[in-house]
Structure 1
């Protein structure tokens, strides 16, 4: 669903407000509202943020996982700007702190996130599997997780020579992550979360 008929520049997007609490991604200059998703969608995001945080703390990595708090400016083709808001973003703490006094958007000239996760919903399926996968690869994000509760699969995309190699994990298969090799997690644990996690 497109909200504005007038295309916005990136600067206009950063200062846009319609008086609601709606979060928007900017895609080729157009505002795209981010829906709340189902309770399960939100539960998966919360679960992964907490699991990543536990591993990060245990290993002492100077990283932080953030759920829907950081935008990532995209180099998508065309003259109009694009900015994505991943469901979960893992960043160095230093980079997160550098965003304290400005819009929390990682610019094209800044280091990319370490890892991003998108949880698929019916309305985002094509974007998560195609558009974002291409955009995140161009940004050199080392790992991109596509968590798809509709197809009951977790896909870990690892960057290799500018493209993502994707591996699917289902059921009791342990998820293999280059960013989090110590993560002891199966696809079922991610996909079958309890809403009160």
Structure 2
């Protein structure tokens, strides 16, 4: 017996509610429940959200960092029935405020976030390194951080002519961000957050 899963349109996804607190990404029209992640995953995302917000405040730009809150509608196979929820999304205050009275999803015709971060886990490694990297590049997100506590590396992907160039940072190496050039964080500070 073959079981089929009903595919949702993007509009159906935006209205979907199963009566639980489960957050879902939409991938090719299918709901993918987001796991809670480990304590380490939570500590890294909290540390980075605070670090970005502190730097935003220090340099006085009109932006905000949001963890596990903002979705981005993504292309896959030429279709737009995918929505990702990055671990951290940095966007302008104006864009954040524009989401106040609607679903927290940046649609395909809207300005892309400034920066997104994914913290790698065993279950998301392939998706974070491959699928999301391609999708975020197509969306024009200028910076994509892949924080990998498994391989102990922070990979910063910078968008250049439609493709990401990646630089790896390990140990005490200072992470060089085009979006936040004065941010003073080393790879080890990020990877050992919460310790």
TM-score normalized by the length of structure 1: 0.95
Match of 2:126 in 1: 126
**In the alignment, is the contact (CA less than 8 A) between 2:74 and 2:80 conserved in 1?**
no
The total of aligned residue pairs comes to 192
Name the counterpart of 2:140. 140
Distance (whole Å) between structure 2 residues aligned to residue 80 and residue 192 of structure 1: 36
SS in 2 for 1:22: coil
The Cα offsets for residues 8-31 of structure 1, whole Å up to 9 and x where unpaired, read as: 000110111111111000000000
Equivalent residue, structure 2, for 1:55: 55
Q: What is the root-mean-square deviation in Å for CA atoms of aligned residues? A: 1.0
Q: Deviation per CA, 1:158-189, whole angstroms, max 9, x where unpaired?
A: 00000000000000000000001010000000
Q: Given that residues 73 and 80 in structure 2 are in contact (C-alpha distance below 8 angstroms), is that contact kept between their aligned partners in structure 1? A: no
Q: Answer whether contact 1:169 1:187 (CA < 8 A) is retained.
A: yes
Contact kept, 8 Å, 1:43 with 1:194, in 2: the verdict is yes
Instruction: Extract unaligned runs of 5+ from structure 2.
Output: none
Pairwise CA distance, 1:75: 1.7
TM-score, with structure 2 as normaliser: 0.96
Pairing 1:100–2:117 present? no
User: In structure 2, what is the equivalent of residue 163 of structure 1?
Assistant: 163
Counterpart in the other structure of 2:15: 15
Q: Is the 8 A contact 1:9 1:80 kept in 2?
A: no
